[in-house]
Structure 1
Amino acid sequence: MKKITLGILAHVDAGKTTLSENILYRCRVINSPGRVDNRDTFLDTDPVERLRGITVYSKEARFTYEGVSYTLIDTPGHSDFYKDLERSLYALDAAILVISASEGVQAHTRLLYSACKKLSIPVYIYINKMDMPGVEKSQIMTDIRQSLMIDNPVDMSLDYMEEFSVVSEEYIEKYLDGRFSEDDVADIIEDGLAVPVYAGSALKGLGVEELLHGLSLYSRPHDITGADSIVIRIKRSSTMERMTYVKVLKGSVEVRGEYFGEKISQIRQYNGERYECVDRLEAGDTGYLLGPEKPLAGMCIRDGIEDMYGISMATPVISVAVTSKDTDDILLMRYLKEYEVEEPSLNVSKGSNNKDIIIDVMGKMYLDVLKGKFKERFHIELEYSKIRVLYKETIRGSAMGLGHFEPLRHYAHVELELIEGAYGSGIEVVSEVSEDIIDKNYQANILNSLMRYRHKGILTGSQLTDVKIVLRYARAHKKHTSGADFYEASKRAVRCALNFADNVLLEPYYDFEIELPFEALNRLTFDLNNMGAETNIGVEGDIAIVTGSAPVICLSDYMDELKSYTKGCARMYLADVNYRPCHNTEEVVRSLDYRQSFDVHNTSDSVICEGGASKVIDYMSAIDRYGFYEKESTEDVARLVKSTFIGTIGTDEIDEIMSKTGGQNKGRDVRKVKKTVLPVATSGSSKKVYKAKEKYLVVDGYNVIHAFADLKELMEVSLDAARGALLDKMSNYRGYVGYPVMVVFDAYRVKGGTEHVETYNGNVLVVYTKEAQTADHFIECFARVHAADYDITVVTSDGLEQSMVRGYGCTIISSREFEQLVGSASIL
């Protein structure tokens, strides 16, 4: 049996719930359709929904029609509850978009259609209230085509096969040849090339059967996440049990099985307020899992691995301070955090003064609903204050930042770049660090930390957005680094970068549509100009229609004023919030009076370890202490390798390279890789200069790692950590023996690998060979070219390599012997 999850979407009062009731009645789920005004509908059962006559929470009903099993999701129509609707969209295979014939396409209708289009959800339009006097279907079809920018809305009451076929030449040919079928229509709807339009009256049941028949005929299972299953929302049962609402897309989920590593004790499928327990959910099914506590809305299982899915298409616009006389702040914060699991967009946090409890909401109506919910569940009365528009911050251009976190027995160092992003792009995080510098698992840890944290700007402490964060460099300690260390270092690096950036304050703008008598148009345009709004004006008879966008702070309370001077003869629709540069930045920054030095949870200070104790230093001191990592240029590396292989490097040039590695450790960042500038070698520049030979130690890196017992054991855990440990040993040994040390790692199995040279701790030269070149080959060539000028000792246990370099007069030390020498040096 085909399984379809069907959503019903509409603006307020379009008749969405009435249509749901009639569908359930015709499919024999209920004995008679309920009415919103009678407060007896099947799905709007919450007290606040029946009191206000609107849908606040998405709910499910189940029915079968023409051999198709449906899960019907009735979604909220008011924009204040859009986040609940947005989460439901990812579960849908198809959506019914209800449009009121008397009101036409509204601003919220456009938002809903745009959201479905972004997620490639097939849309079936139902024009409701066609029984109203003065309604003309042709006008509404034109409105749909123009307002929703749909090229091919197809009136399903006519001979629609031909209408569908005109979307492409291929389908026209099939239609003319008599090969155009219902499957082709389904393909066209699925691809969004045309939108079927049905019309009728939900209250009278007109057009409902035709709509259901079309859905059964053309709808198909739909998924854009590529996941095995997705978590849509979290809610509490009437007995306060935590329930995870999921949709299974591949495979199955079973009772007594595991979900996110936790056992499932029960699976429920709700039908209104009633539910039945089932043993399993198959692909296409939705249901509530009891038992798992870990999953959150937006999580998924993809190829058996925990992951995230989805994008946010709407953002809260109001920030509010919350208090309660019935409990203390600690318990209130706990209650809010518990509720935040069900409503993640609340973004519960502490204010910049570290005292206020702040939440974010879509609108003021949601605050009333939240107050009622807390009274019912926690028996406390919420009080609101400091209601303000929710600003955001971004940057222009780019800026570098550094974060160092090294309290005792902890270590993490992060350097990153913030780059200006496009408006509405959110936060993007990427790494441009080689795995030779830091292991990929550590890099993933850093990127996850940067993505999960809600970064704040430094102008007002508002959320940072529309920024690309590029990881440029990072270091870890083989023993003392944990994921929490990188979490601390990365957020400090972001704050450091913001102090060097050109910061921009953003404010939310509403897209609006206002209908009013023509004689009041001059007053409206005067007010909108003072708001800095962008407007378009149209006139239909004696009614003016003004569309455009304006700051939320200016429009949020304007409706009362609009009704006043039009004597109640105006309508205003607000939708599609987007962020733009603030129109009065200086005034807002001054009024909010954010001081980043007081925001201890979002500091730019670094932490170092000095004298066996932790010490906090400011970001400028951290930069002075560690500097920023500079990557070797390809030309520099090429010169060294070329000179080694063709023998054109001279003694003076070797001396300069050796001098680069002759210093001792400076500063506490012993894992810092400094830039090595290698001299240009020109043909004929080699000169034989008689002098006593200086010692030079060349180490076959991986040969030694396999020989040293501790390094071999560490390599089983992380090759990167083993390399770092070897280089630590070589740095210490270099200080003990007093002559230059070179460590060579081969990369002959690394596809596309290129030559790479670094200095480690300022006193050890590290060479990574290129693809198809072994360390043995490099060391043999280096010995052949430079043995006449240097007293070279080679550390390796490779018998063939030993015989080759011994022929050039080099001294040989086996890796086992070298382990004892290094051990003796460390004791001394």
Structure 2
Amino acid sequence: MAKGGTLGFDLPKVRNIGVIAHIDAGKTTTTEHLLYYAGAKHKLGGVDEGTTETDYDPEEQQRGITIYSACVPFEWAGHTVNLIDTPGHVDFTAEVERSLRVLDGAIVVFDGQKGVEAQSETVWRQANKYGVPRLVFVNKMDVVGANFAQTLESVRGRLAPDPVAHGKAVPIVIPIGSGGPADSRTPFRGVIDLIDMKARFFDAGDYGKTVRTADIPEENLAEARSYREKLFDELTQHDDKDLITSAVLEGQDPDPLKVRQLVREQCLARLIYPVLSGSGREHIGIQPLLDAVTYYLPSPLDRPPVSGINPKGSKKEEKRKPDSKEPFAGLVFKAAWHPNGHRFFVRVYSGVMRTNMRALNPRRDTKENVAKLYHVHADPNRGLEEVESGPAGDIVCVIGLKDTATGDTLCDTQHPILLEAISFADAVVSQSIEPESGGDKDKLGLALEALQLEDPTFIVKADKDTGQTLMSGMGTLHLEVKKHRLERDFRVKVRVGKPRVSFREMMRSPRQVVANIERLGDKPAMAMLKVSFTNFRSEKPVAVFNVVNSDENPTPVAFLAAAERALTDALQTGELGYPMMHAQARILDAKFDPQLSTEDAFVAAAIHAYRDATRDNIQLLEPIMKVVVTTPSIFLGNVIGDLAKRRGEIDGQEMSPNGELAEVTGRVPLSELFTYANEVRSLSQGRAAAAIEPHSYQPAPDSVLRQLLGE
């Protein structure tokens, strides 16, 4: 859009969508074709060549995977589509999480040969968490062994086993054939639209841009009629307005417009997930997918109003509708480092975000100047398009905010609202990091600070025992990418230590302690705290409460606040240097002396209480990972035996319909998995693959604790 073009923003024709999938299912190739056919780019890029639009980062181009979600706007059939391509690798799951938080709809891509894979389940659960309507695209129908019916059944069986609770995957576009010319008597060559009962063929000479509509080939007609009958059976179960039911019962062909209306209504209600098929690599089936985005996925108006609390005074829940007349409210869902100023991506939920406005950040209670707004393409080094405003439903980029980070709310200063922040998984792997040159210490500190601003799952802190700087993340690949970015983008040469596990701590049993402080150094002092320490389950890692009853001589609020802060810090640091999990401290009683008591005395009392409560009372917890290994069945014994050696517990096994492949699911301590991705390949002549994701924290064996303590 040109500068100021957002003033003509047609909200019902806006689609904020994401492309999500398991790694290597073909998300980025599919995205390339969406952009190419929509005219947003003039040449198709290739993942293998490192020339795709959304994989702009050199690290992505080198590895052939997507790491950073990229927002790309384009036009299709009179609609504005803001499309975000997201990673499939579990180490970058935060990118998927923050994208789904602000998107209205999604395309879930599956490999037509492999069906549902481990990370497919993760992203599907994330979409469920945010109530995101979605389309299913069965990709790679041209590869050897591709099977549309089997993939459909795996989606139904593993992702939506209960249609009442989870909705049902329902085909609307089916493939003509499968596999390539060399391996199939009926190779994949086109698709059938079950709604208008027409075949679509795509001209390979212009990369599928030319689409030919034809009658369904005779040999595919019976299959198409069978799928269509099942589609109508599903749709008529919830056809309350009788859009097509009467026509179907009378044996008539229902109006395609009414069928699409019904598909849309049921997709938005998540009663169904429309299923399409194609091949990005062979340029087949992408235009029907684009049409389906405009037909069936929601506009911002189709989504519920966003909820938040009023941070001033009442703390009551408030809602904001996707209406430009409402007060402005937006969520910063991504921050990106740039040498000319950090870039912040904002989903505007209500009102209008304008240039030169002052916006409130209620979490920090600060005001930000919004100097300029942009629409931005995938590559942050180009494609900035200045706009005067971002209305409700839009995604815009702001440069140079001072006190804002990922997950923060920006809102109207006169109508404050604090939107629910994005929640992220805990980091599970740490490495020490230091500059190769002592003179680069400050430069490294600033660079690490910038990377933390971008990525909430990347944590940097000092080890209190060794003084080393530790960086923590979601996996070894995650940290490896950060190291390369430090060296490439920030020009800081660094040394890193071996990966190590990020443990957690938990108290073995509850304790109630009384701490008395009578001296601070060589000076008399006075502070008394009675504190109860217990374990509890909560979204927050630790909680500290002051429940001191008022009496004739109430303890000053400042003293109690100092004690609360000290207890919070202590619980977050832990006795062994790892954060406490599920720890709760309650200040039950306090006493002070007007002459001898100070905030420092109450801090000392809080620390004393914490040490008494945790002495010989700490349970070390280690991160347990869910491991899913797909292997040729002849190597199944090798894989299971190896997992057992790694202290793994097997949860289940599944065989493919032809018995050639096996999938093993288990739980294994992270400390046993640092080199597993390579080692599982050596167990299977390079043919097995593993997907690993965080599962839980469980008590570590005493041997692990003794090793940590150097015993």
- Shorter-chain TM-score category? 0.7 to 0.9
Q: How much has 1:327 moved relative to structure 2?
A: 3.1
The structure 2 residue matched to 1:565, chosen from 671, 683, 692, is 683
State whether residues 63 and 69 of structure 1, in contact with CA within 8 Å, keep that contact through their aligned partners in structure 2: yes
Q: Provide the rounded CA distance (Å) in 2 between the counterparts of 1:187 and 1:454.
A: 49
The structure 2 residue matched to 1:456, chosen from 573, 589, 595, is 573
Please tell me the residue identity of whatever aligns with 1:356.
Answer: Q
Partner of 2:699: 582
Q: What are the superposed Cα offsets for residues 429-480 of structure 1, whole Å, 9 maximum, x if unpaired?
A: 666566886899999998899779870222x321222334555457899999
Partner of 1:266: 372
Structure-to-structure mapping, 1:244-643, within 5 angstroms: 244-259=344-359, 260=361, 261-273=367-379, 274-301=383-410, 304-305=415-416, 307=418, 309-328=420-439, 329=441, 331-400=443-512, 416-422=531-537, 426-427=541-542, 432=547, 455-458=572-575, 460-470=576-586, 472=588, 492=607, 495-496=610-611, 498-499=613-614, 502-535=617-650, 536-540=652-656, 541-575=659-693, 577-584=694-701, 586-593=702-709
Return closer, same or farther for 1:517/1:217 CA change in 2, 3 Å cut-off. closer
Q: How much has 1:331 moved relative to structure 2?
A: 4.7
Tell whether 2:235 aligns with 1:165: yes
Please tell me the residue identity of whatever aligns with 2:685.
Answer: K
Q: How much has 1:501 moved relative to structure 2?
A: 8.2
Please tell me the residue identity of whatever aligns with 2:61.
Answer: R
Return closer, same or farther for 1:526/1:475 CA change in 2, 3 Å cut-off. same
The count of corresponding residues between Structure 1 and Structure 2 is: 589
Tell whether 2:249 aligns with 1:208: no
Q: Provide the rounded CA distance (Å) in 1 between the counterparts of 2:557 and 2:352.
A: 32
Structure-to-structure mapping, 1:12-91, within 5 angstroms: 12-91=23-102
Aligned to 1:511, what secondary structure does the other structure show?
strand
State whether residues 424 and 578 of structure 1, in contact with CA within 8 Å, keep that contact through their aligned partners in structure 2: no
Return closer, same or farther for 1:521/1:271 CA change in 2, 3 Å cut-off. closer
Q: How much has 1:223 moved relative to structure 2?
A: 6.0
Please tell me the residue identity of whatever aligns with 2:275.
Answer: V
Aligned to 1:245, what secondary structure does the other structure show?
strand
Aligned to 2:98, what secondary structure does the other structure show?
helix
Partner of 2:332: 231
State whether residues 418 and 497 of structure 1, in contact with CA within 8 Å, keep that contact through their aligned partners in structure 2: no
Please tell me the residue identity of whatever aligns with 2:433.
Answer: V
Q: Provide the rounded CA distance (Å) in 1 between the counterparts of 2:464 and 2:82.
A: 44
Q: What are the superposed Cα offsets for residues 644-699 of structure 1, whole Å, 9 maximum, x if unpaired?
A: xxxxxxxxxxxxxxxxxxxxxxxxxxxxxxxxxxxxxxxxxxxxxxxxxxxxxxxx
Q: How much has 1:582 moved relative to structure 2?
A: 3.4
Max radius of gyration: which structure? 1
Aligned to 1:206, what secondary structure does the other structure show?
coil
Tell whether 2:306 aligns with 1:190: no
Q: What are the superposed Cα offsets for residues 761-806 of structure 1, whole Å, 9 maximum, x if unpaired?
A: xxxxxxxxxxxxxxxxxxxxxxxxxxxxxxxxxxxxxxxxxxxxxx
Q: How much has 1:580 moved relative to structure 2?
A: 2.8
Q: How much has 1:94 moved relative to structure 2?
A: 1.1
State whether residues 105 and 143 of structure 1, in contact with CA within 8 Å, keep that contact through their aligned partners in structure 2: yes
Please tell me the residue identity of whatever aligns with 1:419.
Answer: T
Q: How much has 1:565 moved relative to structure 2?
A: 3.1
Please tell me the residue identity of whatever aligns with 1:368.
Answer: E
Please tell me the residue identity of whatever aligns with 1:270.
Answer: V
Return closer, same or farther for 1:19/1:395 CA change in 2, 3 Å cut-off. same
Tell whether 2:343 aligns with 1:243: yes
Q: Provide the rounded CA distance (Å) in 2 between the counterparts of 1:402 and 1:11.
A: 53
Q: Provide the rounded CA distance (Å) in 1 between the counterparts of 2:266 and 2:604.
A: 51
Q: How much has 1:26 moved relative to structure 2?
A: 1.4
State whether residues 433 and 472 of structure 1, in contact with CA within 8 Å, keep that contact through their aligned partners in structure 2: yes
Structure 1 vs Structure 2 CA RMSD: 3.8
Unaligned runs of 5+ in 1: 596-828
State whether residues 395 and 420 of structure 1, in contact with CA within 8 Å, keep that contact through their aligned partners in structure 2: yes
Q: How much has 1:90 moved relative to structure 2?
A: 1.4
State whether residues 402 and 496 of structure 1, in contact with CA within 8 Å, keep that contact through their aligned partners in structure 2: no
Tell whether 2:140 aligns with 1:129: yes
Q: Provide the rounded CA distance (Å) in 1 between the counterparts of 2:490 and 2:703.
A: 39
Partner of 2:213: none
Q: Provide the rounded CA distance (Å) in 2 between the counterparts of 1:67 and 1:443.
A: 60
Query: Mean alpha-carbon deviation: is it higher for 364-373 or for 266-275?
Result: 364-373
Q: What are the superposed Cα offsets for residues 345-368 of structure 1, whole Å, 9 maximum, x if unpaired?
A: 222111132411011022222233
Please tell me the residue identity of whatever aligns with 1:234.
Answer: A
State whether residues 26 and 280 of structure 2, in contact with CA within 8 Å, keep that contact through their aligned partners in structure 1: yes
Partner of 1:780: none
Q: How much has 1:516 moved relative to structure 2?
A: 2.5
Aligned to 2:488, what secondary structure does the other structure show?
helix
Q: Provide the rounded CA distance (Å) in 2 between the counterparts of 1:419 and 1:163.
A: 54
Aligned to 2:331, what secondary structure does the other structure show?
strand
Please tell me the residue identity of whatever aligns with 2:474.
Answer: M
Aligned to 2:376, what secondary structure does the other structure show?
strand
Please tell me the residue identity of whatever aligns with 1:35.
Answer: G
Q: Provide the rounded CA distance (Å) in 1 between the counterparts of 2:672 and 2:99.
A: 31
Return closer, same or farther for 1:396/1:177 CA change in 2, 3 Å cut-off. farther
Aligned to 2:685, what secondary structure does the other structure show?
coil
Q: How much has 1:319 moved relative to structure 2?
A: 0.8
Please tell me the residue identity of whatever aligns with 1:251.
Answer: G
Q: Provide the rounded CA distance (Å) in 2 between the counterparts of 1:316 and 1:271.
A: 30
Q: Provide the rounded CA distance (Å) in 2 between the counterparts of 1:379 and 1:554.
A: 33
Q: What are the superposed Cα offsets for residues 522-569 of structure 1, whole Å, 9 maximum, x if unpaired?
A: 333222223332212233424332112111222332233332232223
Please tell me the residue identity of whatever aligns with 2:698.
Answer: P
Please tell me the residue identity of whatever aligns with 1:566.
Answer: S
Return closer, same or farther for 1:430/1:563 CA change in 2, 3 Å cut-off. same
Q: How much has 1:481 moved relative to structure 2?
A: 11
Please tell me the residue identity of whatever aligns with 2:334.
Answer: R
Structure-to-structure mapping, 1:764-775, within 5 angstroms: none
State whether residues 315 and 362 of structure 1, in contact with CA within 8 Å, keep that contact through their aligned partners in structure 2: yes
Return closer, same or farther for 1:544/1:342 CA change in 2, 3 Å cut-off. closer
Q: Provide the rounded CA distance (Å) in 1 between the counterparts of 2:590 and 2:94.
A: 37
Q: What are the superposed Cα offsets for residues 183-240 of structure 1, whole Å, 9 maximum, x if unpaired?
A: 5544433343322221111223322222222221232224685252111122223x43
Q: How much has 1:571 moved relative to structure 2?
A: 2.0
The structure 1 residue matched to 2:277, chosen from 186, 199, 205, is 199
Q: Provide the rounded CA distance (Å) in 1 between the counterparts of 2:92 and 2:603.
A: 34
State whether residues 427 and 459 of structure 2, in contact with CA within 8 Å, keep that contact through their aligned partners in structure 1: no
Structure-to-structure mapping, 1:618-767, within 5 angstroms: none
Q: How much has 1:384 moved relative to structure 2?
A: 0.9
Please tell me the residue identity of whatever aligns with 2:573.
Answer: K
Q: How much has 1:507 moved relative to structure 2?
A: 1.3
**TM-score under structure 1 length normalisation:** 0.64
More helix by share: 1
Please tell me the residue identity of whatever aligns with 2:408.
Answer: M
Q: How much has 1:154 moved relative to structure 2?
A: 1.1
Q: Percent identity?
A: 24
Aligned to 2:534, what secondary structure does the other structure show?
strand
State whether residues 449 and 490 of structure 1, in contact with CA within 8 Å, keep that contact through their aligned partners in structure 2: no
